[in-house]
Amino acid sequence: MRQTISVKFFARKDRAIAGGLIPISMRIGVNRQRINIVTKIHVKETDWSATEGRYKGKTRESQKINELLDGFRMKAFDCQRMLMNEGKPISIENMKATWYGKSLERKVMLMEVFKQHNEQMEALINKEFSPLTFERYETSFRHTQEFMKWKYKINDLDVKDLKYEFIADYEFWLKSIRDCDHNTSMKYLSNFKKIVHICIKNGWLSRDPFVGFKLAKHEIEKPFLVEEELNKITDRKFAMARLMQVRDIFLFCCYTGLAYADVEKLTREEITIGIDGERWIWTRRQKTDTATRIPLLPPALEILERYKNDPQCLNSGRLLPVLSNQKMNAYLKEIADLCEITKKMTFHTARHTFATTVTLTNGVPIETVSKMLGHKNMKTTQHYAKILDKKVSEDMKLLRSKYS
C-alpha cells in the first residue's frame, strides 16, 4: 500500500464572505482519496496564487499567513509519521482520525469477548467440555451482566476499564445481592478470570485486575455415607421402580467412584478384563480428561447384571439407565428421607463415599484411591483422608466413653 501523502492548499471562491474574502482549505490525498481540512484563514482572491497555493507578496501579513499554512502542512506530515511509527496503514481514515485526535483502535467490549468464549465452548460440548461446565459459564455470563447493570447502569464495558475495584465490587454483589456463599462466589469469579486472561493474552488489557485479589476457597466437609447408612440404602426396598433404579445407579457409583457425567456416558465397551483376569472399568473422566481404571467390586457387578437386558440401555448403548442429574438428585432426596438419613445427599455423595467409606476406611492406599478417582493432584485426594481422620476421632470418643 502507498505510504505517501499529498498536501495542497486551495481557495474556496464559492464560499466568499463579506469584504470579498475567501476561505483557504487544505486537501490531504492518500491513494486517490482525499480529506479537506478547514484552515479558518481568509484572503483576498487577488492576493492568492492558485498555482503555488501560497499568499502573494512579501509583506508581514503574507509571511504570517504562509507560516500558518506551513504549520498545517507540517501537522499533516506529522500525522503520517505517527502512523508509520505505530505500524498502522496510511489510509485516509487513519489520517483523519489522527488529525482530529481520535482513537484508531476499536474498542474491545467485555461481554462480546465473554459471549464469543461461550459460543466456542458450546461448539465443543462433549468434545472438550461437559454440558454442566458450559452451563456454569452461561450463568457466570448472566451474573456479570446483571452486576454491571446494578453497579454501573451499563450492559457492556471496554476491557481497558477493568480494574481491581470491579473485581472487589463483583465479589460483594455475588455475596450480598445474589446471596451466594463464599465458595460459589469464588467459582463464578474464577470463570470470569478466564475471560480476563483471554483479554490479557490478546493484548487488549495491559494489567491483570485480579492482581492482589485472593480467589482461595474455604475448605468444607464433603458429605459421605458411613457403612451403616450405605447398608440402609442397600437393604431398603422401594415401592416405586424409579426409586429402585436411581438407588442402584447411586450405589454403583458408591462402589466405583464415578461422577454423574462419567456414569451417564459409560458404555459396554468400557468394561474390560484387567491384568488380574477380573472385570474393570476403563474410561476417561469427562471433567479432567484423565484416564481412569477401576476394578469392579461384587456389589457393582451385581448391579450391572441387573440391567444388562434393560431396554433403555440396549437402545442407547449405555451401561446403566441414568436419568438427568436434576431428576437423580430429586429422587435421592426422597430416598434419603425414606431411609431416615439426615445428611444432604446429592449424586456426588456417591463419589465421596467411595473415597472414604469404601476404600480409605478399608485400608486401600491413598495413591491407589487417587488413581481410581482420576485425580490429577494428590492434594485433592488428601482432603478425603482429613475427613477420615475426623471420623476416626469421633469413633474413638465413643470408645473412650465406654471405657470411662
Give 284-337 pLDDT, tens digit per residue: 877 666 778 899 999 999 999 999 888 888 888 889 999 998 999 999 999 999
Domain boundaries, the chain: 6-99, 110-201, 227-403
Does pLDDT of 346 surpass 50? Answer: yes
Which three three-digit cell numbers place residue 263?
456414569
* pLDDT interval class at 153 (50, 70, 90): very high
pLDDT tens figures, 198-239: 999 988 888 999 999 999 888 777 788 999 999 999 999 998
CATH architecture label of 227-403:
Orthogonal Bundle (1.10)
Write down the pTM of the prediction. 0.59
Residue 188: predicted pLDDT: 95
Confidence band for 114, pLDDT divided at 50, 70 and 90? very high
Of 256 and 385, more confident: 256
Q: Given a cut of 90, is residue 390 above it in pLDDT? A: no
pLDDT in the model for residue 291: 79
pLDDT tens digits for range 119-142 = 999 999 878 887 888 999 999 999
Q: Give the cell for residue 43.
A: 484572503
CATH number of the domain located at residue range(s) 110-201 in this protein: 1.10.150
